Amino acid sequence: MITCVVDYEIDPLEIKAFERFAKRWMELVQQEGGVHHGYFLPSEGSSDRALALFSFPSLAAYEEYRSKFGVDAAFIEADRIRDESRCVLRYDRTFMRPLLP
């Protein structure tokens, strides 16, 4: 299993748009065979940080999911939410392997 951790810098004035963006990506990850562990949004402290965690059974499965970016209509539509609202200022993606009990 591989887990992708996405660390976002977001526009706090566009949090509702970011929530729409996040909900759509949670659906797409699930639809493509991944497990979405959720988005974690600002509550207290810094108001411009958010995280997303989702897993795929393997790097190959993740790469199959990624192959749809910019090609599949649903993926393009999800990215349009981000692009038109400018809710995401920047993001970093890190891959981790979980240590589970």
Q: What is the pLDDT of residues 23-72, one digit of tens each?
A: 999 999 999 999 999 999 988 877 999 999 999 999 999 999 999 998 99
Average of per-residue pLDDT across 16-29? 96
- At 38 the pLDDT is 96
Distance CA 43, CA 56 (A): 28
- At 93 the pLDDT is 95
Distance CA 54, CA 34 (A): 7
Encoded amino acid at 75, one letter? F
- Alpha helix segments (H runs only) across 1-101: 15-31, 59-66, 73-85
Distance CA 12, CA 66 (A): 27
Domains and CATH numbers, the chain: 2-96 (3.30.70.100)
Distance CA 58, CA 61 (A): 5
The pTM (predicted TM-score) of the whole model is 0.88
Per the prediction, the chain carries an average pLDDT of 94
